[in-house]
Chains A and B, each alone.
Chain A
Amino acid sequence: MQLQLRFFATFREAVGQKTIEREYDEGLVVGEVLSALESEFDGLEGQLLENGDLKPQINVLKNGREVLHMQGIETTMEDGDTLSVFPPVAGG
């Protein structure tokens, strides 16, 4: 399945661009996709997952909705879905 992946602020810098597309096996869940991203991009390593769950410092959206209010990292991804990952920023 093909997924569109979007990154904001510091994550965008770690990936080098705001939006990428990746091909993954069918039926992968959010946690597996995030794990694959941590492996692919050095700057994301340890930034997305912690103790088998989402890090409390980030927010992850599937098709614009928080996965926190779906099945969290067990939320299933489907072909054509968009996964967005963003950190808080504090500058003022």
Chain B
Amino acid sequence: MSDLSLDATQLDRYSRHIIMDEVGPEGQKKLLDGRVLVVGAGGLGAPVIQYLAAAGVGTIGVADNDVVERSNLQRQVIHADADVGVPKVESAANFVTRLNPDVTVEQHHLRVGPDNVESLVADYDVVVDASDNFQTRYVVNDACRLAEIPVAHGAIYKFEGQATTLVPGGPCYRCLFPEAPEPGTVPDCATTGVLGVLPGTLGCIQATEAVKLLIDAGEPLAGKLLFYDAMEMSFETVPYRQNPDCPVCGDDPISSVDEVEYTGGCAVRAD
């Protein structure tokens, strides 16, 4: 599709992109040719899907195994009251269809895990980790690094968020946190609550990173962890480095997610 030309409707729809040198018609074509997998269609995934669809990312994969619950609607802005009980992947696809007919949504109604992750991520240019649990986050990090697919990572806790972008050649999520906390030690949104607008901010940062990666513009948030504190309205960035002992991107990496025990701390199995 590299010879894709923009039709009159697209020239109008994407005109604010096209007039910028940093995007231009070439960048817009890259977006329309782009394939992004969004893991999780919840608080973070909702703004990610919304903005990627508006931007004209041609193919958006959405992986989620949940159905919409009424308690989601305080923050998951692509789902509406009438969607309660509907699979989130279906609700997300319906939202995108209404927003932008240029975008195809590939629905993956499943929980991403070690058994399906490698085939799932293989066809995508960029993966956005908008999941809500450590197991999925480590699975996504590991599989994407092994397949050399960049990941726009975001995670939230009450009124704080963390974002970073994991690009091949740079440090991965395990360089920051070698192992996941034991299940139950870090409570989830259902237990602690979450400020409804918080994932909007973090998801928009993730979507920004995905767009930049697709059009190869700017500097990705690689080797940097961005902290957002909604109560202080503060952002701070701390650098982090590749860990030579990292089991996924270090000097002696694993060859498959099969070598990782994704229950408990998501540690690599000892030989």
Given A92-B42, A92-B43, verify A9-B238 contact (CB < 8 Å).
Answer: no
Q: Is the CB of A91 within 8 A of B180?
A: no
Known: A10-B157, A59-B240. A88 touches B176 (CB 8 A): yes
Check B240 against A92 for contact (C-beta < 8 Å).
no
Q: How many residues of B contact A (CB 8 A)?
A: 44
Q: Tell me whether A24 is interfacial, beta carbon within 8 Å.
A: no
Docked CA distance A12–B176 (Å):
19
Known: A59-B177, A89-B186, A90-B132. A64 touches B239 (CB 8 A): yes
Q: Is B113 an interface residue (CB 8 A)?
A: no
Segment 181-217 of B: residues with Cβ below 8 Å from A: 181-182, 186-189, 192, 194, 199
Contact with B along A10-25 (1 / 0, CB 8 A): 1010000010000000
Are B189 and A91 neighbours in the complex by a CB distance under 8 Å?
A: yes
**Contact: A58 with B177, CB < 8 Å?**
yes
Digit string of A78-92 for contact with B (CB within 8 Å is 1, else 0)? Answer: 000000101111111
Q: Are A88 and B155 in contact, CB atoms less than 8 angstroms apart? A: yes
Known: A56-B179, A57-B180, A58-B177. A91 touches B43 (CB 8 A): yes
Chain B contacts with A in 152-171, Cβ cutoff 8 A: 154-158, 160-162
The residues of B that contact A65 with a CB separation of less than 8 Å are 238-239
Residues in B neighbouring A91, C-beta threshold 8 A = 43, 132, 155-157, 188-189, 192, 194
Q: Does B35 contact A (CB under 8 A)?
A: no
Write the chain A residue with the least CB distance to B44: A92
Assuming A89-B155, A91-B132, A92-B132, what are 4 further A-B pairs, CB within 8 angstroms? Answer: A88-B181, A88-B186, A90-B155, A92-B199
Residue ranges of A at the interface with B (Cβ–Cβ < 8 Å) = 8-10, 12, 18, 56-59, 61, 64-66, 68-69, 84, 86-92
Binding site for A on B (CB under 8 A): 40, 42-45, 129-134, 137, 154-158, 160-162, 176-182, 186-189, 192, 194, 199, 227, 229, 232, 238-241, 243, 265, 267
